[in-house]
Amino acid sequence: MLLALEGIAGAGKSTLRDRLLATAHAEGIPLSHIGQFSWLSHSATRVLIRLRAGHGGDEQESIEAAAQDLALHSRFNIAVALTEGPVIADRLTLSTACLLALLHQQPVDAYIEQLAEQTQARPQLTVLLTTAPDICHTRVTRRATERRFTEQPDAAARLADLYNEAADAWTKTTGLPVLNHPCTTHADLEALVDTCMKDLRPTGSTTTPDKEASR
């Protein structure tokens, strides 16, 4: 089971990821997590670093770098991790497609279609955290780290729209579900954890934590 968490900065991805990891481990489920990129190709990495810094450059080069990195990620990271148990991806294909669409000012659908060709990197479930951009901005400003360009209010608002478009394009292209839900309140978080755990638990398993994990 591959589960992808998507959404703009401050939407609650890290909080949800950490709760899922803790809950799964308490139940004896060997859940692991990976990041958005593989960083296994020097040439692709150079392009991806440039994109993350807000410099679009050549569109075709950007697409090729993103696709190459995703292929490597799928083969050497995701596939290997899945042999040990379910995996959470803290950002994945939707985030990359939205970044490309934001920088190159093109519809996100085409990027989704091209990246979705890496079938082994397709999550069985994608969770898009639709927390309001103003709430996300408030959370981000509390962080000690330097602000990225995607965390600026205008860029974040545009990204939020792109994520919604990307979610629709993803389901249309792959037939795979995207759960759209905010992570604003404690109740939101609990609902998301409960929903995700239903997919992460092995078929027929119980929800009772093992004795060792619950001590």
Q: What is the pLDDT of residues 158-186, one digit of tens each?
A: 999 999 999 999 999 999 999 999 999 99
Domain ranges of the chain: 2-214
Q: What percent of the chain has pLDDT over 70?
A: 94
Q: What is the pLDDT of residues 68-109, one digit of tens each?
A: 999 999 999 999 999 999 999 999 999 999 999 999 999 999
pLDDT for residue 203: 79
Longest CA span, the chain = 55
Burial of 62 (0-12, 13-18, 19+ CB in 10 A): buried
pLDDT for residue 42: 98
pLDDT for residue 80: 97
pLDDT for residue 66: 98
Average pLDDT, the chain: 94
Amino acid at 143: R
Question: CA 198, CA 201: separation in Å to the nearest integer?
Answer: 6
Q: How confident is the model at residue 204 (pLDDT cuts 50, 70, 90)?
A: low
Sheet holding 2-6, edge to edge: 32-34, 87-90, 2-6, 125-129, 178-181
- Domain 2-214 matching CATH 3.30.1280.10: the answer reads no
State the CB neighbour count (10 A cutoff) for residue 10: 24
pLDDT for residue 209: 43
123 HSE (CA, 13 A, CB side): 30
pLDDT for residue 210: 42
| 105-131: average pLDDT | 97
State the CB neighbour count (10 A cutoff) for residue 92: 26
| 38-46: average pLDDT | 98
The stretches of 27-73 forming alpha helices (DSSP H) are 42-52, 59-72
Residue 214 has pLDDT above 50, yes or no: no
Structural contact between residues 184 and 132, judged by C-beta atoms closer than 8 angstroms: yes
> What share of residues in the chain are helix, strand, coil (percent, to 5)?
60, 10, 30
Residue 188 has pLDDT above 90, yes or no: yes
